[in-house]
Structure 1
Amino acid sequence: TVARLLLGAAGTALAAVGAVRLLTGTRPGTVGDVLVWGGSLLVLHDGVLVPAVLAVGLLSAGGRLGGVWRAGLLTAGTVTLVASPVLLRPGRPANPSVLPLDYPLGLALVLSAVAAATCATAGWLRWRRRRTPRPSSVTRS
């Protein structure tokens, strides 16, 4: 409980520092934009990502490989969320060197790699479980 109190106090102090920096260190008129951005992240996290992970967890709870599939989907969701600002940018930038890559193709490649790694891990675990001898249920007296 002491550690929790200390961590809570540290988190509150850091949040206060962040609030002061937001109010005093930004240009006038941008505080609302920052609050909308933060609120949007909160809605995306709590309204989309968490329910999706919980739904996958419930659907795969009975299986032995549920953790592998949840990890793969959580990784894919997180990568997509991180990539969304450059994927949803409006129009072409004035400076072509700012965002010079093909980001949809890059996301597709990363998601393909995540899917391949998830499937390979699930297959390997399944193969290993089949090859590992199970302990016998015979009890000795």
Structure 2
Amino acid sequence: MKALRVTAGAAGLALMGVGVSLLMDVRDLPGVLLWLGGAVVLHDVVIAPMVLLVGTALVRSGVRGPVRAALLVAGALTTVALPVLLRPGRRANSSVLPLDYPRNWLVTVVVVASVTAVWLAVRKFRDGRRRPVA
């Protein structure tokens, strides 16, 4: 488990470095920093408390952690996708946002839910095999 954490931490630091290097090329840096600050506030004030409340209300068993993690990831994906989700429709320049972002957001949220369901099923199966039958 320690090797996985170190690897994930190293990958995270590398991706943060890429993000900072890309941020240096932005023309409207104050606007981008304001948006990033707003995303942090939205996460800490709205998404995280909602995830904790929903996780507590819906799940009273040992699966609370994976459900909360899935809700947190889905909330973060939604936060990132909000600008394009709130402004649907045709764009004057079709090369600016060339993909179907609402569909792709929905696909990623479904993937998060599916991975969580598989994780819980494997965990339940594994726990069931460990307990002796009386």
TM-score by length of 2: 0.64
* 1:122 CA displacement: 0.6
Superposed CA RMSD: 2.9
- Number of the residue aligned with 1:46: 44
- Number of the residue aligned with 2:125: 127
* 1:48 CA displacement: 1.3
- Number of the residue aligned with 1:88: 86
C-alpha distance in structure 1 between counterparts of 2:68 and 2:90, whole Å: 36
Counterparts of residues 91-130 of structure 1 (less than 5 Å) = 92-130=90-128
- Number of the residue aligned with 1:65: 63
* 1:116 CA displacement: 0.8
- Number of the residue aligned with 1:56: 54
Q: Quick check: which has more Rg, 1 or 2?
A: 1
**Could you report, residue by residue, the CA deviation over 1:84-103 in whole angstroms, capped at 9, with x for unpaired residues?**
12222375332111111111
Distance 1:103-1:90 versus aligned 2 partners, 3 A rule: closer
C-alpha distance in structure 2 between counterparts of 1:77 and 1:42, whole Å: 12
Residue ranges of structure 1 left out of the alignment (5+ in a row): 1-25, 135-141
**Could you report, residue by residue, the CA deviation over 1:10-55 in whole angstroms, capped at 9, with x for unpaired residues?**
xxxxxxxxxxxxxxxx77xx96x66864564354223311211221
TM-score by length of 1: 0.61
* 1:113 CA displacement: 0.9
C-alpha distance in structure 2 between counterparts of 1:87 and 1:128, whole Å: 39
**Could you report, residue by residue, the CA deviation over 1:91-125 in whole angstroms, capped at 9, with x for unpaired residues?**
53321111111111111111111111111111110
The structure with more helix, counted as a fraction of residues: 2
**Aligned residues with identical type, % of pairs:** 44
